[in-house]
Structure 1
Amino acid sequence: MFKSEYLNRVYEGLAARNAHEPEFLQAVREVFESLEPVVAARPEIEKNGIIERIVEPERIVNFRVSWVDDAGKVQVNRGWRIQFNSAIGPYKGGLRLHPSVNQSIIKFLGFEQIFKNSLTGLPMGGGKGGSDFDPKGKSDNEIMRFCQSFMTELQRHIGPDTDVPAGDIGTGAREIGYMFGQYKRLRNEFTGVLTGKGLSYGGSLARTEATGYGVCYYMKEMLADMGESFEGKKVVISGSGNVAIYACQKATQLGGKVIAMSDSNGYIVDENGIDYKVMQEIKEVKRARIKTYLDYVPTAKYVEGCRGIWSVACDIALPCATQNELNGDEAKTLIANGVKAVAEGANMPSTPEAVEAFQAAGVKFGPAKAANAGGVATSGLEMSQNSQRLSWTFDEVDAKLHDIMVNIYKSCKDAAARYGMEGNLVAGANIAGFEKVCDAMLWQGIAY
């Protein structure tokens, strides 16, 4: 599988022990492919067992979450917190609430988070958590009771200098608020233990917009290297959550025309350019399905089935929905329709076959661990504000976010060139993220 005997040996052992965790193994494979030249050039990596250690979480916490629904019936879900690597800082990563959540998905997300957090330049380790609880269709009181039960166990394992969770799919400002309130009640302390908080109790301006803005800032740098810009480009964005909505806003502000967006039911096409304010109204205020867009813009078109969005011809594609949403055949359709650049706003939304197709066709490709790092970067900025008991303006946070994304792009580009893979941003992101963590682990000995 790999040219490196060392990487092969580690991966084979990992696959044997985790055969039931395909998402996690997929994430590890993708990183290992990039690290071959690094391992060859740095024998101390094998000597000190860095690879063996970095693929094993420092800690996995799996727990029962019991709560009572509005009918008075006891419900039981499973909860996880995977603290993957703390070599460069406290664990940092979101809490995903979705029925698809299992240990493989949380491990893949936590593993990716190690390198993503490293790329931001901020002192944050990698972690992830969540539950197979589905917030959809639940009342506010049911969600509150679930969140309180979830935090009653989680609070034993987190803290502002230990592990700082955040939001993810299914975990928005409402859920973070309920969790923070329960943590404060149980611990009798007011600390920056969670990010993505409301502005009235320690949240950061620009946090909601950060991942969507960040993916566009990263894409702007990609396009600049091609002698291009967003100006006049047709953009397709999958998803319609926070990431997609604010990617739509920023892409529009940068001169692009977003012509298609989706949700799990289907997608809309608006050749005149999607109105992001309408999308905000539908998704953030009404919490309605994307088909509702036609009530505001009757000239738009709605198509059942979300996967068809990749058949819409565009210059720029931003997959911002979920993992493995864009496969090899869909990538080939985008290529045939003239796509110039792709940047991932979701976590690992492109399958390995899709990434390979884009790279083979010369399509500029920005991987998730770099392109969607804006969210966790701004979470890190929220941690800084909490530690200092300060609150920065929207423009201050946005300017810092922009600088971080520019630096991430430069780090990816430089790392790829340093190891003879010029232009390969996937390899560059993995290498740049890995080397910082690797060096910290070497300095700290086998404790990490």
Structure 2
Amino acid sequence: MGLPHEPEFQQAYNELVEAIQDSTLFIQKPEYKKVIPVVSVPERIIQFRVSWENDKGEIEVNNGYRVQFNSALGPYKGGLRFHPSVNLSILKFLGFEQIFKNALTGLSMGGGKGGCDFNPKGRTDSEIRRFCVAFMRQLARYIGADTDVPAGDIGVGGREVGFLFGAYKQMQNNWSGVLTGKGLSWGGSLIRPEATGYGVVYYVEKMIEKATNGKESFKGKKVAVSGSGNVAQYAALKVIELGGTVVSLSDSKGSIISKNGITPDQVHVIAAGKVKFLTLEQIIKESASTFSGNNEVKYIAGARPWVHVGQVDVALPSATQNEVSGEEAKALVDAGCKYIAEGSNMGSTQEAIDVFEANRSNNVWYAPGKAANCGGVAVSGLEMAQNSQRTTWTSEEVDRRLKEIMYNCFDNCYSTAIKYSAEKNASGLPSLLKGANIAGFIKVADAMFDQGEVF
């Protein structure tokens, strides 16, 4: 269905279709076959030029995009990514994933994604502001609180969302919840920065509970985390809070491995450094005292953590797509890892997923990103609800709703996997990969039938 020059999109499409074909869904309900060719083409793709002025007064030109993939369940919803790697294939893959991820939250949100091949690293605040204004000048006419509600993603944090929102408001003369991830004093939601990381951990909490009949929890578990951005930081903090030990974090330049466990202080220092675009290596050098003594960490340049962490119980890939290879998946399974859940989108390659799925009979359990990391967009949905009501909920209220959404998402994936499973696994662990894909698909497909988009 995808095109040869869209490898990421092809991979996401194949994952969904194979998960469904490998189940009994089409046998039980053959009419769902009609949905695949419709749902896998975006409703609309907007591509635009972003020309802006850098600090030297020179003109720079970037390519901007918004893929409005599916609005069956609500306004298009999905992040904006500013990164040199951004192209249509990556945005189509992310938008396609987002359709089913948003469906799994149980909230009224369609799927979309957008961004630009602009690189914010090394840019001044004023350059980023001018870029955001130029980007929004092109995007503003295609989005709105009931049409399309973008959020941040890689390269788009609170600062960028603020600049984008300010530009939209001036251009449209309209204060509405058109972006999520806003500042707390102007329509943002508490727990939004934490949401994806917390959500992954809540999801895995249910996996551990289910797999051990309530006998075990995160207490005493060793957890390997990759990434060091917002998802990895808050996943690490929540694991520590629940009594687990976090043994790794990473960035695009290398990994840190900790024998005694990464501390909350270290996570806060890393978070402060990452806002300034520092590498982990630079952060450790600058804050040597925080990373020494009992809290010493080993830095490994140019490596991902998976083969270096030793024995772990849980792995949470939380950096970017395809960051666990087949070899690394084998290493994790051999090291005793039982639970793998993606904090990033499509964090595991197809080869890695095959390894995890093949080891389900050995009690290895894998949760795909579209389920495990839906906590972020879930709280974006809660932010939209708060904006519509012109109200702000307490962090306890948002956290309670987030936990409930993640627990329900797990239960939905689990029961759907059992209902449509073609094989009966000896260990009794159903495929959450299939469960997540099928549960999200059914919800979107039913809405498309009802609205006459498929007939």
Normalising by structure 2, we get a TM-score of: 0.93
> Does the Cα contact within 8 Å between 1:311 and 1:334 map onto a contact in 2?
no
Identify which of 323, 326, 332 aligns with 1:325: 323
Q: Which residue of 2 aligns with 1:231?
A: 219
Q: Which secondary structure does the structure 2 equivalent of 1:165 belong to?
A: strand
Tell me, in whole angstroms, the C-alpha distance in 2 between the residues paired with 1:407 and 1:377: 12
Q: Which residue of 1 aligns with 2:426?
A: none
Tell me, in whole angstroms, the C-alpha distance in 1 between the residues paired with 2:346 and 2:421: 24
Identify which of 222, 229, 234 aligns with 1:241: 229
> Does the Cα contact within 8 Å between 1:311 and 1:333 map onto a contact in 2?
no
Q: Which residue of 1 aligns with 2:291?
A: 297
Identify which of 432, 437, 453 aligns with 1:446: 453
Alignment of 1:279-428 (within 5 A): 279-284=267-272, 287=276, 288-291=278-281, 292-293=283-284, 295=288, 296-298=290-292, 299-313=296-310, 314-362=312-360, 363-420=364-421, 423-428=430-435
- Offset at 1:338? 1.0
Q: Which residue of 2 aligns with 1:25?
A: 10
Tell me, in whole angstroms, the C-alpha distance in 2 between the residues paired with 1:94 and 1:193: 12
Q: Which amino acid aligns with 1:385?
A: Q
- Offset at 1:174? 0.4
Q: Which amino acid aligns with 1:109?
A: L
Tell me, in whole angstroms, the C-alpha distance in 2 between the residues paired with 1:39 and 1:381: 34
Q: Which amino acid aligns with 1:39?
A: F
Identify which of 160, 163, 166 aligns with 2:151: 166
Whether 2:114 is the aligned partner of 1:129: answer yes
Tell me, in whole angstroms, the C-alpha distance in 2 between the residues paired with 1:293 and 1:139: 24
Deviations 1:168-187 (A, max 9, x none): 00100000000000000000
> Does the Cα contact within 8 Å between 1:211 and 1:345 map onto a contact in 2?
yes
- Offset at 1:329? 0.4
Compared CA separation, residues 447 and 340, structure 1 to 2 (3 A): closer
Identify which of 30, 33, 38 aligns with 2:25: 38
> Does the Cα contact within 8 Å between 2:226 and 2:319 map onto a contact in 1?
yes
- Offset at 1:305? 1.2
Q: Which secondary structure does the structure 1 equivalent of 2:304 belong to?
A: helix
Q: Which amino acid aligns with 2:304?
A: R
Q: Which amino acid aligns with 1:73?
A: E
> Does the Cα contact within 8 Å between 1:311 and 1:330 map onto a contact in 2?
no
Q: Which amino acid aligns with 2:309?
A: V
Tell me, in whole angstroms, the C-alpha distance in 2 between the residues paired with 1:447 and 1:144: 42
- Offset at 1:447? 7.7
> Does the Cα contact within 8 Å between 2:256 and 2:305 map onto a contact in 1?
no
Deviations 1:361-420 (A, max 9, x none): 221111100000000000000000000000000110000000000000000000000012
Q: Which amino acid aligns with 2:308?
A: S
Q: Which residue of 1 aligns with 2:188?
A: 203
Q: Which residue of 2 aligns with 1:7?
A: none
Q: Which amino acid aligns with 1:332?
A: K
Q: Which residue of 2 aligns with 1:146?
A: 131
Tell me, in whole angstroms, the C-alpha distance in 1 between the residues paired with 2:307 and 2:220: 19
> Does the Cα contact within 8 Å between 2:228 and 2:270 map onto a contact in 1?
no
Q: Which secondary structure does the structure 2 equivalent of 1:339 belong to?
A: coil
Normalising by structure 1, we get a TM-score of: 0.94
Q: Which amino acid aligns with 1:42?
A: K
Tell me, in whole angstroms, the C-alpha distance in 1 between the residues paired with 2:163 and 2:217: 41
Whether 2:63 is the aligned partner of 1:78: answer yes
Tell me, in whole angstroms, the C-alpha distance in 1 between the residues paired with 2:262 and 2:67: 38
Any stretches of 5+ residues in structure 1 without a counterpart?
1-13
Q: Which secondary structure does the structure 2 equivalent of 1:306 belong to?
A: coil
Alignment of 1:79-118 (within 5 A): 79-118=64-103
Deviations 1:245-296 (A, max 9, x none): 0000001111100011111111111212112332223333563221223612
Q: Which residue of 1 aligns with 2:255?
A: 267
Tell me, in whole angstroms, the C-alpha distance in 2 between the residues paired with 1:193 and 1:129: 14
> Does the Cα contact within 8 Å between 2:151 and 2:179 map onto a contact in 1?
yes
Q: Which amino acid aligns with 2:248?
A: A
> Does the Cα contact within 8 Å between 1:263 and 1:306 map onto a contact in 2?
no
Alignment of 1:36-75 (within 5 A): 36=21, 37-46=24-33, 49-75=34-60
Most deviating of 417-426 and 370-379: 417-426
> Does the Cα contact within 8 Å between 2:250 and 2:305 map onto a contact in 1?
no
> Does the Cα contact within 8 Å between 1:278 and 1:293 map onto a contact in 2?
no
Q: Which amino acid aligns with 1:300?
A: V
Most deviating of 419-428 and 75-84: 419-428
Q: Which amino acid aligns with 2:432?
A: L
- Offset at 1:308? 4.3
Compared CA separation, residues 447 and 410, structure 1 to 2 (3 A): closer
Deviations 1:144-189 (A, max 9, x none): 0111000001001000000000010010000000000000000001
Q: Which secondary structure does the structure 1 equivalent of 2:452 belong to?
A: helix
Compared CA separation, residues 447 and 429, structure 1 to 2 (3 A): closer
Tell me, in whole angstroms, the C-alpha distance in 1 between the residues paired with 2:419 and 2:262: 40
Tell me, in whole angstroms, the C-alpha distance in 1 between the residues paired with 2:447 and 2:247: 44
Q: Which secondary structure does the structure 1 equivalent of 2:255 belong to?
A: strand
Q: Which amino acid aligns with 1:349?
A: G
- Offset at 1:41? 2.0
Most deviating of 113-122 and 284-293: 284-293
Q: Which amino acid aligns with 1:98?
A: H
Q: Which secondary structure does the structure 2 equivalent of 1:83 belong to?
A: strand
Q: Which amino acid aligns with 2:453?
A: I
The count of corresponding residues between Structure 1 and Structure 2 is 431
Deviations 1:43-79 (A, max 9, x none): 2224xx3111100000000001111111111111101
